């Protein structure tokens, strides 16, 4: 419950002349948006021949730079560093952590004691070694997480993913013997959802065969599976319609009690909530777009749409609560826990045995507040933590009031703190500086979007930065799914961008959650152009202020942020000289038919409906490439094993640009899922290629040197 779980339970100049992939001069411009539909065959021979050829061209071109090897080595060293913070997970009386370094490429799941963790050099016990397991089984496994049955915390359901994909093989594991349970629960590779009902029973949602997954590719049926019986004999307890996102189960450990919930994810933002109680599935009558938490005997609800009941209306963004048993019995005497002020929002909610720990954003700056229900009223205190950055809970337990939190910002290394039962906070570990931040400053500025809305953004730059438009500047944003972009310490951005004189900008455009539900909803469906106008306004403000100029302005974004980059490219190619598009959505005509795409129609709209394709078509990057337009040289990155956002989006956009004689770079990692790679070496390679590209496009001769 660290996040709002009721949704579909579900980021130089080259010293050599480097040329992007040469366009095929003999190929005529392609007219049909489906001319490259064959690239949707993920691992087909023709598709992979295309991928391998373009990978080889990009690698050959970008690795010729003398900067590549230094970038790769620096980033790999950072990723492999044993000085990284080992963020813990509290399981029973032990602390667990998943760790990767040079000796453990695929990683180890390990554990230690509370006392040992508090020392400078904790003693860790390996629980699962993925490198050894991969070698023994001949499968390139990556870690998918573990769900352990409480309060015994002996048996866990472990997810193992091939190459980092969302689909995973699920196995039962014994924490005492550190072995997989012989003849225990085991589910073949699929996008599976499980929850412990008791020590011998699971809720399972998976691909049981034809008709058992939704159009989004997630399970639509929840079954009750008894230990020792075939999976096929599991009893169905709930079914969601095939056009919903999926049906998911959750076991909520609320300290002195457990709740079993079933969630029917109608779309990405609306869910029907159910309680499984003594064999009965009972609906929890809250609004479909509300977030629901069960803590102790209290039901906590985050309100998105105004909620009128019991003679009172609770406004958008408020957090309300009451006895869960009383609510299920028909009472409606809700109490206010928190109502955010203007420019404030509730970002995340966590819980301990006696407290709600709420991460509040105040003009995109984080703070923690601890709320307690006592004597029939809710009271709170601010958790001691640094200011002007991002603070959040990283580990908690419903069986104590101890939890871990981190603080970070753009130039201050991440620090891990532990909170004791009495609420006192102590520093446990501070990440050593991974780059030289001396002389760097952070500003928060505003741009004015086309409709007059103020759009905040952060700028990280050197003191006494010249406002002459010459600064290589990298601008990033996301703008979707109510996800907030907050300050963070990026070791690789610091080491190979900021250290070398680059400027970094993070924009808080609409579509995110920085200012609550209304900020997100302002960019939904037919209003999505507002998001793209916000991003353009920030770019124009950077140019207006003389921080940079189109020649030296680059942009970077992934997933939905990759879509944002594609729109920026096609709507305002004159503003940018580098566009790094990572794991993107780009073909918005086909997106809802590719992998998990159907689950995002509440965000973008349904392209199969003419009235909705009407507004989607105006920004869809794949359909809006124009043969007579001068575009900056683009770089696409994706992975073959991304089973969330189909790699065909990047493939098809690149192929269409190639047919139009538009230069670009393309790199597709064969592993990595919806990310850059599984091993540190894979991630370092993609990052190094990307930063060489950025410096090549944006660097200033005689101003950015290899030894800077």
Residues 542-570 pLDDT 10s: 999 999 999 999 999 999 999 999 999 99
Q: Determine the pLDDT at residue 387.
A: 81
Select from 284, 312, 336 the last residue of a domain: 284
Q: Is there a domain that residue 488 lies in? A: yes
Q: What distance in Å separates the CA atoms of residue 496 and residue 435, rounded to the nearest whole number? A: 9
| Selected catalytic residue, list 559, 592, 659, 690 | 559
Q: Is there a domain that residue 478 lies in? A: yes
Query: How do the residues of the chain divide into helix, strand and coil, expressed in percent and rounded to 5?
Result: 25, 35, 45
Instruction: Say yes or no: 217 and 122 in one domain.
Output: yes
Q: What are the pLDDT digits (tens) for 208-233?
A: 999 999 999 999 999 999 999 999 99
Chain center to CA of 552: 28
Q: Determine the pLDDT at residue 392.
A: 94
Q: Determine the pLDDT at residue 22.
A: 38
Average pLDDT estimate for 692-697: 98
Average pLDDT estimate for 425-442: 95
Instruction: Give the alpha-carbon dihedral of 533, 537, 539, 544, to 10 degrees.
Output: 150
Instruction: Say yes or no: 643 and 530 in one domain.
Output: yes
Instruction: Say yes or no: 59 and 206 in one domain.
Output: no
Count other C-beta atoms under 10 Å from residue 570's C-beta.
22
Vertex 189 angle, CA 647 and 126, to 5°: 100
| DSSP bridge partners of 308 | 313
Q: Is there a domain that residue 623 lies in? A: yes
Instruction: Say yes or no: 610 and 637 in one domain.
Output: yes
Q: What are the pLDDT digits (tens) for 583-618?
A: 999 999 999 999 999 999 999 999 999 999 999 999
Q: Determine the pLDDT at residue 677.
A: 82
Instruction: Say yes or no: 630 and 668 in one domain.
Output: yes
Specify the pairing of strand 578-582 against strand 553-558: parallel
Q: Is there a domain that residue 706 lies in? A: no
Select from 284, 311, 326 the last residue of a domain: 284
The question of whether 559 is a catalytic residue gets the answer yes
**Paired tokens of 399:** 């069986």
Q: What are the pLDDT digits (tens) for 127-176?
A: 999 999 999 999 999 999 999 999 889 999 999 999 889 999 999 999 99
| Selected catalytic residue, list 94, 251, 674, 690 | 674
In the predicted model, is pLDDT for residue 13 greater than 70? no
Helix residue ranges per DSSP H, 575-702: 601-604, 610-616, 648-659, 680-698
Q: What distance in Å separates the CA atoms of residue 570 and residue 662, rounded to the nearest whole number? A: 12
Q: Determine the pLDDT at residue 385.
A: 86
Q: Is there a domain that residue 84 lies in? A: no
Q: What distance in Å separates the CA atoms of residue 540 and residue 473, rounded to the nearest whole number? A: 13
Instruction: Say yes or no: 459 and 577 in one domain.
Output: yes
Reading phi first (left if > 0) and then psi (alpha if -120 to 50, else beta), residue 378 is in: beta
**Paired tokens of 200:** 């011998």
SS3 state of residue 655: helix
Q: What distance in Å separates the CA atoms of residue 305 and residue 319, rounded to the nearest whole number? A: 12
Q: What are the pLDDT digits (tens) for 343-393?
A: 899 999 999 999 999 999 999 999 999 999 998 899 999 998 888 899 999
Q: Is there a domain that residue 258 lies in? A: yes
Range of the domain at 539: 41-77+434-698
Instruction: Say yes or no: 109 and 149 in one domain.
Output: yes
Instruction: Say yes or no: 221 and 270 in one domain.
Output: yes
Q: Determine the pLDDT at residue 255.
A: 81
Q: What are the pLDDT digits (tens) for 58-101?
A: 999 999 999 999 999 999 999 999 999 999 999 999 999 999 99
> What CATH number is attached to the domain comprising 158?
2.130.10.120
Instruction: Say yes or no: 468 and 551 in one domain.
Output: yes
Assess contact for 423 and 401: CB atoms under 8 A: yes
SS3 state of residue 591: helix
What does the radius of gyration of the chain's CA atoms come to, in whole angstroms? 25
> What CATH number is attached to the domain comprising 673?
3.40.50.1820
Q: Determine the pLDDT at residue 45.
A: 97
Q: Is there a domain that residue 10 lies in? A: no
Output the DSSP codes for 507-565: E--TTSSTT-HHHHHTTSGGGTHHHHHHHHHHHHHHHHTTS--GGGEEEEEETHHHHHH
Q: Determine the pLDDT at residue 33.
A: 57
Select from 284, 313, 340 the last residue of a domain: 284
536: CB partners within 8 A, 6+ apart: 450, 568, 571, 572, 575
Instruction: Say yes or no: 609 and 476 in one domain.
Output: yes
Instruction: Say yes or no: 453 and 561 in one domain.
Output: yes
Count other C-beta atoms under 10 Å from residue 298's C-beta.
21
Categorize the per-residue pLDDT at 672 as very low, low, confident or very high, splitting at 50, 70 and 90.
confident
The question of whether 593 is a catalytic residue gets the answer no
Q: What are the pLDDT digits (tens) for 233-292?
A: 999 999 999 999 999 999 999 888 899 999 999 999 999 999 999 999 999 999 999 999
Chain center to CA of 497: 22
In the predicted model, is pLDDT for residue 16 greater than 60? no
Domain count of the fold of the chain: 2
Q: Is there a domain that residue 558 lies in? A: yes
Q: Determine the pLDDT at residue 555.
A: 98
In the predicted model, is pLDDT for residue 11 greater than 50? no
% pLDDT > 90, the chain: 89
Chain center to CA of 523: 19
Output the DSSP codes for 58-115: HHHHHTTSHHHHHHHHHHHHHHH-TTS----EEETTEEEEEE--SS-SS-EEEEE-HH
């Amino acid at each position: 419950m660290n996040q709002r779980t009721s949704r579909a339970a579900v980021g130089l100049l080259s010293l050599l002349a480097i040329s992007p992939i040469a366009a095929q001069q003999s190929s005529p411009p392609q007219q049909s948006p489906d001319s490259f539909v064959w690239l949707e065959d993920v691992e087909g021979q023709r598709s992979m021949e295309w991928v391998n050829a373009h990978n080889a061209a990009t690698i050959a071109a970008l690795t010729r730079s003398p900067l590549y090897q230094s970038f790769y080595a620096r980033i790999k060293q950072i990723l492999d560093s044993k000085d990284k913070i080992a963020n813990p997970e509290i399981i029973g009386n032990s602390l667990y952590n998943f760790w990767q370094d040079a000796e453990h490429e695929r990683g180890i799941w390990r554990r230690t004691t509370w006392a040992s963790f508090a020392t400078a050099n904790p003693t860790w016990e390996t629980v699962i070694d993925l490198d050894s397991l991969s070698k023994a089984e001949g499968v390139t496994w990556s870690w998918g997480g573990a769900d352990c049955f409480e309060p015994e915390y002996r048996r866990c359901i472990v997810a193992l993913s091939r190459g980092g994909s969302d689909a995973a093989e699920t196995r039962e594991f014994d924490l005492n013997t550190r072995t997989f349970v012989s003849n225990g629960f085991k589910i073949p590779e699929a996008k599976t959802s499980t929850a412990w009902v008791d020590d011998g029973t699971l809720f399972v949602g998976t691909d049981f065969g034809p008709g058992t997954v939704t159009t989004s590719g997630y399970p639509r049926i929840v079954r009750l599976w008894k230990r020792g019986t075939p999976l096929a004999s599991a009893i169905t307890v709930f079914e969601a319609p095939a056009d919903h996102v999926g049906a998911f189960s959750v076991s909520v450990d609320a300290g002195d009690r457990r709740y079993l919930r079933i969630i029917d994810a109608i779309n990405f933002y609306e869910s029907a909530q159910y309680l499984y109680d003594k064999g009965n599935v009972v609906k929890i009558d809250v609004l479909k777009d509300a977030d629901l938490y069960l803590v102790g005997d209290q039901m906590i609800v985050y309100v998105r749409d105004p909620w009128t009941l019991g003679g009172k209306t609770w406004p958008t963004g408020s957090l309300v609560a009451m006895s869960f048993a009383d609510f299920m019995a028909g009472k409606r005497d809700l109490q206010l826990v928190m109502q955010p002020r203007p420019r404030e929002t509730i970002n995340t909610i966590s819980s301990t045995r006696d407290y709600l720990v709420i991460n509040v954003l105040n003009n995109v700056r984080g703070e923690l507040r601890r709320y307690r229900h006592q004597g029939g009223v809710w009271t709170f205190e601010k958790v001691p933590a640094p200011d002007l950055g991002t603070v959040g809970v990283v580990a908690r337990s419903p069986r104590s009031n101890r939890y871990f939190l981190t603080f970070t910002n753009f130039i201050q290394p991440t620090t891990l703190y532990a909170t004791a039962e009495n609420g006192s906070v102590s520093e446990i570990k501070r990440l050593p500086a991974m780059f030289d931040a001396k002389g760097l400053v952070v500003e928060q500025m505003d741009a004015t979007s086309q409709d007059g809305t103020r759009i905040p953004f952060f700028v990280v730059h050197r003191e006494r930065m010249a406002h002459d438009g010459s600064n290589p500047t990298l601008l990033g944003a996301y703008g979707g799914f109510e996800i907030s972009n907050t300050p963070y310490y990026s070791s690789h951005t610091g080491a190979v961008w900021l250290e070398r004189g680059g400027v970094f900008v993070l924009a808080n455009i609409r579509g995110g959650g920085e200012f609550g539900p209304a900020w997100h909803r302002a960019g939904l469906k037919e209003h999505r152009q507002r998001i793209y106008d916000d991003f353009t306004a920030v770019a124009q403000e950077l140019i207006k202020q003389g921080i940079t100029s189109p020649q030296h302005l680059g942009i970077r974004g992934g997933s939905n942020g990759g879509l944002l980059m594609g729109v920026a490219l096609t709507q305002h190619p004159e503003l940018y000289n580098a566009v790094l598009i990572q794991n993107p959505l780009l073909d918005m005509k086909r997106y809802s038919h590719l992998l998990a795409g159907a689950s995002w129609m509440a965000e973008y709209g349904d392209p199969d409906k003419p009235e909705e394709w009407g507004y989607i078509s105006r920004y869809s990057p794949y359909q809006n490439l124009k043969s007579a337009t001068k575009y900056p040289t683009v770089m696409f990155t994706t992975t073959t094993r991304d089973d969330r956002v189909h790699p065909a989006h990047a493939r098809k956009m690149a192929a269409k640009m190639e047919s139009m004689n538009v230069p670009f770079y393309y790199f597709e990692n064969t592993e990595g899922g919806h990310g850059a790679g599984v091993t540190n070496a894979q991630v370092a390679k993609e990052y190094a290629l990307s930063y060489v590209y950025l410096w090549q496009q944006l660097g200033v001769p005689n101003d950015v040197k290899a030894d800077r």
